[in-house]
Structure 1
Amino acid sequence: MSKPSSPRTTFRRAALIGAVAAFGLLVAACGDQKAEVKPQADATVAGADQLAPCPSVESRPPVANALPDVSLPCLGDGPDIRLSNLRGPLLVNVWAQWCGPCRKEAPYLAELHVKAGDKVKMIGIDYIDTRPDLAVRFAVEQKWDYPHVADRDKQIQQGLKIGGPPLTAFVDAKGAVVYVHRAPFTSQQELDQLVREKLGVTW
């Protein structure tokens, strides 16, 4: 017959069991916390799905005076886009949500996309912007219903000789940059006229 445990032994045993249980709960809690944090790190920018998706662009041979030969990630959904593979008639607008003049010309770009339709392709480049969430919100608010990519490391700076946004490049059907507008558009008429003159597109 076993000897009954003393009150002191019973207390120690209960304390040990409690400590083991508490440690188990702590480990489980840490595991749950990691499981919750990981998806947030991998999550896409809120609202990105409201932007026009970036298209797949086939690889093309190089041409003279082309856009910079760099690949930029899509600001919304879709694959990276290699700029030198793009062909026109195309308007490439370099912008940033922190750029005041970009905000002023934004409605003209949105209106051009509506009026010109498929006759003029358009793509935006969010430039050296550390707040992709604000960039996405800005593009959605401006109703820019065309694809956008992001250049946070100034990859296009040298190729397009960018001093700062906004900047708009006009690209012809062969992929050559035929004109670069290094200022904000001051009216719809100015933008529409440049599209007609530089790209030969009317609507």
Structure 2
Amino acid sequence: MKRLLLAMFVALSVGLVVWPQTGQSPTVMAEPKAEQKPVEGYEAPHFTLTGMDKQTYQLNGKRSKPLILNFWASWCGPCRMEAPELRKFYQKFGQQVDLYAINVTSDDSADGAKTFVQTYELPFPVPMDMTGEVANRYRIQAFPTTYLIDRQGIVRKTIIGMIDASVLEQEVRKLLAEKP
């Protein structure tokens, strides 16, 4: 009986020590930037993708310029409406920010993406998420979805649905006003 009580006491003690470390306690959330999540205030999930132009595009922490990630598919009606707005924005801010229009090719086709890029004359990089792994990391559930990421690699804004150039400009000006 004494052994059983001793074993229960030890198990309870260990449980009390381990349990707070595995739960979602406030101390775990104290340093949110150390954890990669597609959530505002957290470090953006890292990735490396090959673009339609065969160049390598990546996000892996700090950068020299803010980054806009726009997830899209060629069959998406709102993406078609948004494409001219993104082009307009990029013509104005392309020297100050990076814009990656990530085609979620796993939900699309490479040919469809290529036709889309040619039709809308997209001047910015188009990384191809062939497996959908990056879209999964960013928890993409609707197209288009746009993430604004600051120079520190932190997600600052998430926009689900179509965005126009003026709204994007307003949000990007906030990022550009921050000290690097």
Name the TM-score class by shorter chain.
0.5 to 0.7
The structure whose Rg is larger is 1
Q: Partners of 1:150 and 1:117 in 2: how far apart?
A: 20
Q: Alpha-carbon deviation of 1:199?
A: 4.5
User: Could you say which residue in structure 2 is the equivalent of 1:151?
Assistant: 129
Contact 2:145 / 2:159 at 8 angstroms: preserved in 1? yes
| TM-score (norm. length: structure 2) | 0.67
Aligned sequence identity (%): 29
Structure 1 pair 190/138, CA: closer, same or farther in 2 (3 Å)? same
1:138 aligns with 2:106: no
Query: In structure 2, what residue type is equivalent to 1:152?
Result: M
- 2:60 is aligned, of 72, 84, 103, to 84
Q: Superposition pairs for residues 104-119 of structure 1, below 5 Å?
A: 104-119=81-96
Q: Alpha-carbon deviation of 1:166?
A: 0.5
Q: Alpha-carbon deviation of 1:63?
A: 5.6
Question: How many correspondences in the alignment?
Answer: 138
Query: In structure 2, what residue type is equivalent to 1:102?
Result: C
1:197 aligns with 2:167: no
Q: In the TM superposition, what whole-angstrom CA distance separates every residue of 1:9-39 from its partner, at most 9, and x where no partner exists?
A: xxxxxxxxxxxxxxxxxxxxxxxxxxxxxxx
Structure 2 gaps of 5+ residues are 1-32, 36-41
Q: Alpha-carbon deviation of 1:153?
A: 2.2
Query: In structure 2, what residue type is equivalent to 1:120?
Result: V
Structure 1 pair 190/82, CA: closer, same or farther in 2 (3 Å)? closer
| Corresponding residue SS for 2:103 | strand
Structure 1 pair 86/77, CA: closer, same or farther in 2 (3 Å)? farther
Structure 1 gaps of 5+ residues are 1-61
Q: Partners of 1:89 and 1:82 in 2: how far apart?
A: 13
Q: Partners of 2:46 and 2:138 in 1: how far apart?
A: 11
Q: Superposition pairs for residues 3-152 of structure 1, below 5 Å?
A: 64=35, 65-79=42-56, 81-85=57-61, 87=63, 88-127=65-104, 128-152=106-130
RMSD across aligned C-alpha pairs, in angstroms? 2.2
Q: Partners of 2:165 and 2:135 in 1: how far apart?
A: 26
User: Could you say which residue in structure 2 is the equivalent of 1:36?
Assistant: none
1:184 aligns with 2:156: no
